[in-house]
Amino acid sequence: MSTEVENGTSSPDAVPNKSGSKATKIIVLLAVVAAALFAYHNYGDALSLDYLASKEAELRQYRVDNPVLVYGVAMVIYVLVTGLSLPGASVLTLAYAWYFGFVRGMIVVSFASTSGATMAFILSRYLLQETIQNRFKEKLVSFNEALEREGAFYLFTLRLIPAVPFFVINVVMGLTPLKTRTFWWISQVGMLPGTAVYVYAGSQFPDLKTLADKGGSGILTPELIAAFVLLGVFPIVVKKVIGKWKASKTATAVEE
């Protein structure tokens, strides 16, 4: 992969260099799709609270027998689910919260979700960015300029809004000039509040059967709803504060 494609273009109207032949990209795309279909067909049912609840005793015993390995296995599963954009990340978040507790669940889910998101971002960039940027080059000039100026804030805002599907953000951002390292650390920070809310909700259940029986409605307490509302308002407040700070800084520079 070329440096420009990986780290973003140096100017808004720059076109990413070719990073592999079309044939190679098609092979990689087919391999990713095949892996996703295989995983979902064979293990999709396992990504449900009812199935996990039926295996609760085995899961508890596995944690006792493999106190270290269990974290690695959990990380790999979560990264693959999010990286291949498979449904089930929310279920895994709640299950991990119950399984590991709030603090350890936060660590596993936070780093695994960011790693999986970055994997999807890189795949989208490798497979699609060059084609999209070349085909819509003129129309994307202003968009690329905006990304150069405030791309990190746009991503941060999207990460704080739970209503926006994360897999969509991963794929779309992969088509932009946003740097991979910027995507990683902004995602790590931006997803943290929402992750904390979900992990806290899952950690409050005594067992998976109770969590499965109550489902999504069982975790939506007034406190959690208020937390989600605050997550949606927070980016707006931050943007206004930053806007006022920039205006004040500009006014001070003019006066000087």
Q: What size, in residues, is the chain?
A: 256
> pLDDT tens digits, residue range 114-134?
999 999 999 998 988 887 777
| Domain that includes residue 189, residue range | 3-255
> pLDDT tens digits, residue range 3-57?
444 444 444 344 444 445 888 888 888 888 898 888 888 887 888 888 888 889 9
Contact indicator for 211, 53 with CB cutoff of 8 Å:
yes
Q: How many domains are contained in the chain? A: 1
Does 254 have pLDDT greater than 50? yes
Cα of first residue to Cα of last residue in the chain, in angstroms, is 47
> pLDDT tens digits, residue range 207-238?
888 877 776 555 666 666 676 676 667 667 76
> How distant, in Å, are the alpha carbons of 35, 93, 127, 128, 195 from that of 31?
6, 27, 12, 15, 30
